[in-house]
Chains A and B, each alone.
Chain A
């Protein structure tokens, strides 16, 4: 079955640090990869779609890259409000599987 694998599962970084989260698909998904941010007790929020497109209203410190099976979400300068769990998701063909999530905390 289709698998999306994120790493790391959690990380702790200082304010202003550059943070990178990776997502690997078990099959080629071309550019159909999205990233979501979920703060505790809140609804997931779309950050990036089609691997590298920033959703309107999302701060420019968030960026995405990748194609095929390997993808990256980068936060260029971590801010306190970025504390959340981040999920990748393939958004083409069933199932639209999610990665297991990466919890980001402030050191």
Chain B
């Protein structure tokens, strides 16, 4: 069955980097994009960026352009989100979610379980 499994919780100090993974199974990895969305405690959803899992092309929200890098490894059907220069405001749950490259009418239909990133000194 279609499944997206994210890596486990992280605790980081301010100024550090974090890399979160998103492992896909049960479908053709390269037929989809992965988007990254975060949610601070008690807050709403914030869209961050997407990666085309076929070409590796990326697009970022302006506020994340300089600190976030998305990559993917097609051999292990896994997407990655790296965020640098973490600060306490980056404490949040980070979700990956897929988007169908062949049906542009579709939205984010399958989500990972979320990865909690805590930034604290």
Interface, chain A (partner B; CB < 8 A) = 1, 31-32, 34, 36, 38, 43-46, 49-50, 53, 55, 85, 87, 89, 91-92, 94-101
B108 in the interface (beta carbon within 8 A): yes
| A46 & B45 in contact (Cβ 8 Å cutoff) | no
Question: Given contacts A31-B105, A91-B99, A94-B61, could you give 18 more A-B pairs where the C-beta distance is less than 8 Å?
Answer: A1-B62, A32-B105, A34-B107, A36-B108, A38-B45, A43-B95, A44-B111, A46-B107, A55-B109, A87-B45, A89-B47, A91-B107, A92-B104, A97-B47, A98-B44, A98-B45, A101-B44, A101-B45
Pick the residue among A43, A89, A95 that contacts B61 (CB under 8 A). Answer: A95
Chain B minimum-CB-distance residue to A56: B109
B108 cross-chain contacts in A, Cβ below 8 A: 34, 36, 44, 46, 89, 91
Q: Which residues of A contact B69 (CB under 8 A)?
A: none
| Minimum CB distance partner of A35 in chain B | B107
Give the CA-CA distance A44 to B110 in the complex, in Å. Answer: 9
Specify the chain B residue showing the minimal Cβ separation from A96.
B47
Residues on A with beta carbons closer than 8 Å to the beta carbon of B99: 91
Contact of B35 among A50, A53, A87, A96 (CB under 8 A): A96
